[in-house]
Amino acid sequence: MAEVTASMAAPLEKALKAGAPQLGVERILSIERFTSGLSSQSYGVDAETAEGPIRWVMRVEPEHGVIPPYDIAREYRLLRAVHEAGLPAPEVVHLEEDPSVVGGRFILMSFVEGVIFRSMDPRLQEDPELLATMQQQFVQMLARIHATPQKVLPSYSTGEEAARGEVAICRRRLLETELLPSPILRHALDVLDTHAPPAQRICLLHGDYRLPNLMWKDAVISGVLDWELARVGDPLSDLAFTQTIGRGPCSIEGELATRYTELTGIEVDERLMPYYRLLEMVKGTVIGLAGAYDLAHGGTDLRLLSVARIAASGQAIMGGLEKQLEEYLEA
């Protein structure tokens, strides 16, 4: 156990014995920090329990990050709701409200067995059959998410408010974190505000639906992870995310978009997609650029320097997306 995580073991063991006796923790064996994840820091926790050895994942609410304000309790409630609805989200087993135990409030959840495929994974390039199977799984799982009822996240009474609400959130985040004026983002936000379309349906959105957030076992999705950007809105938002910020071998477009429509009855209106692609690019860029703000205000994860840079790169295609949107509006 690395020194930094070893110091967490004793207080964690004590807190779980006192606050979560149902888990039957006898001893924390090891804590391993995961490198992935940008906001909440995640750890693999191995424990000896009355039932035998077990492995959990612990997600700790960060003090700093790119999408504040953080609320791990909200994530706990949402994960419980989607798990109970039958989605393969990790099963949450404990919410620790005392931030002093490991340096932030945390949730403990089941460890999902499986492997993660990165967007550039060579296995996908070498095995077209595997890729085709995974693409189908990818679409089917998003269709299931969009059909999932939940009462944790606030809903919108009309579809019109959903897109405009997202733009307002982006604008507020930009206002709070913009270190230097961003003329491209400001202009794109004005365009999005002016042309916000009504949603054809309002549903649960994952918000960060991409390959690295899925666990796979025998080419079947065994876990859907990282729900911290989940919200309620137009499903086209999630589709547009797979075509932009989350772009990869499973982007839902063409035949995969047709399959999505077959599964959900939701039309993927190509005239509306430029709007949602622009919205997703703006959202992702604002979140990424907040990394620079975070570092200037006490953040210590130096990866954020590169995240802010790659986010800024997203601005290069916003002009083109605005043009596509204008062409649709004129047509």
Partner 1 sequence: MIVLDSAQILTTVKLSLETHVLPALSDDFARVQVLSALKALAEVSDRLENGDPADRSNLRIESGVRELADSIRSASPGFAEELDAALRAEPAGGAPRDRSRQLGEALWKVYVENEGDAAERLLEILQAEALRTMNEDNVWMCPEAIASLT
The residue ranges that bind partner 1 (CB under 8 A) are 2, 4, 33-38, 118-119, 179-184, 186-187, 212, 301-303, 305-307, 309-310, 312-313, 315-316, 319
- Name the DSSP letter for residue 284: H
| Cα distance between residue 308 and residue 29, in whole Å | 37
E runs forming strands in 130-270:
203-205, 214-217, 220-224, 231-233
Q: Beta 25-33 vs 41-49: how paired, if at all?
A: antiparallel
Q: Nearer to partner 1 by C-beta: 73 or 179?
A: 179
Q: Nearer to partner 1 by C-beta: 108 or 308?
A: 308
Q: Nearer to partner 1 by C-beta: 76 or 216?
A: 216
| Cα distance between residue 295 and residue 301, in whole Å | 8
Minimum distance between the CB of residue 9 and partner 1, rounded to whole angstroms?
16
E runs forming strands in the chain:
25-33, 41-49, 52-60, 92-96, 106-110, 203-205, 214-217, 220-224, 231-233
Q: Nearer to partner 1 by C-beta: 30 or 200?
A: 30
Q: Nearer to partner 1 by C-beta: 66 or 196?
A: 66
Which residue bears the tokens 């994840």?
37
Contacts of 80 (CB under 8 A, 6+ apart): 92
Q: Nearer to partner 1 by C-beta: 73 or 305?
A: 305
Minimum distance between the CB of residue 194 and partner 1, rounded to whole angstroms?
13
Phi-psi region of 257 (alpha: psi -120 to 50; beta: other; left: phi over 0): alpha
Contacts of 63 (CB under 8 A, 6+ apart): 103, 104, 298
Minimum distance between the CB of residue 191 and partner 1, rounded to whole angstroms?
12
Minimum distance between the CB of residue 184 and partner 1, rounded to whole angstroms?
5
Minimum distance between the CB of residue 252 and partner 1, rounded to whole angstroms?
18
Minimum distance between the CB of residue 36 and partner 1, rounded to whole angstroms?
6
Q: Nearer to partner 1 by C-beta: 36 or 158?
A: 36
| Cα distance between residue 162 and residue 200, in whole Å | 11
Minimum distance between the CB of residue 265 and partner 1, rounded to whole angstroms?
32
